[in-house]
Amino acid sequence: MAHYGFLGTGIMGGAMAANLLRAGHSLAVCNRTPDKLEPLLALGAIPCASPAEVVAASAITFSMVADPEAALEVALGAGGVIEATGPGHDYIEMSTIDDVTSRKIGAEVVATGARFLEAPVSGTKKPAEDGELIIMAAGDPGLFEDAEPAFDAMGKLAVHLGEVGTGARMKLVINSIMAGVMVAQSEGFALAEKCGLDLPSLLELLDAGVVSSPLLRAKGPQLMARQYPTSFPLKHMQKDLRLTLALADQVGQPLDNTATVNQTFIRARVAGLGDQDFSAVHEVVSKDERPCA
């Protein structure tokens, strides 16, 4: 039996699974697009035909898919995870989904006698490739301990936050802040450009001050070049904002700024930028090319 299984091998999942293999763990894999498995098979991964087959072949299976709908299909659909979970075949959901969906999947998994953990991550393509993700786990504490070797291969920090749902909520809060910072940064760059200011100088001054951050250093050059190589797809960030606003509605917390940020991301998605990096929101922020008077 493989140490681990992995479902969903896109931008994030593929890098995370590769790090498990490079750390010496045996790994069973499955993806809706089989071509995306080729790099992992070259590293020694074991191909499987369905999520259920991965779970049956693994002690602990991880999932990293696009959204709540995909997470439900992988876990509870035909040929899904739930058909093979049970004692000795546990499940860790690492996708960014809402707490309601996470609890639904967790309850179904636990009912089979398996253990469940949600463990969404903070970080994009480069941190995933470098094994530098931040992992926000919640659920079965024993499974958290047993998964530590895998978390060590995929991330630089893994924390256990409590019961299922707390990890999902924490991830949405973090991503809503990141999206807001991205739009604020984009607006500043757009204003500076239209006023004839030197953008490299702006980036240098920002990086030397209190707003310096890895996000600024990573995305500032993309805004200046108007090129947005995909590290975290814009459509997924907009999905996270939608889930954040739904969570805020549930608990009665107004999020005026986040609602406005979400509208900006919707405009960018509708404009055809959904598959580009979320920094491509700059294209709709800076579309008015009139210089300052």
Which residues neighbour 201 within 8 Å (Cβ) at sequence distance 6 or greater?
A: none
- CA–CA distance, 42 with 67 (Å, rounded to integer): 28
- CA–CA distance, 232 with 134 (Å, rounded to integer): 15
Told to judge if 171 belongs to the known catalytic residues of this protein, a careful annotator would answer yes
Catalytic residue among 36, 126, 156, 171: 171
H, E, C per residue of the chain: CEEEEEECCCHHHHHHHHHHHHCCCCEEEECCCHHHHHHHHHCCCEECCCHHHHHHCEEEEEECCCCHHHHHHHHHCCCCHHHCCECCEEEEECCCCCHHHHHHHHHHHHHCCCCEEECCEECCHHHHHHCCEEEEEEECHHHHHHCHHHHHHHEEEEEECCCCCHHHHHHHHHHHHHHHHHHHHHHHHHHHHHCCCCHHHHHHHHHCCCCCCHHHHHHHHHHHHCCCCCCCEHHHHHHHHHHHHHHHHHHCCCCHHHHHHHHHHHHHHHHHHCCCEHHHHHHHHCCCCCCCC
- Which residues are part of the catalytic machinery? 171
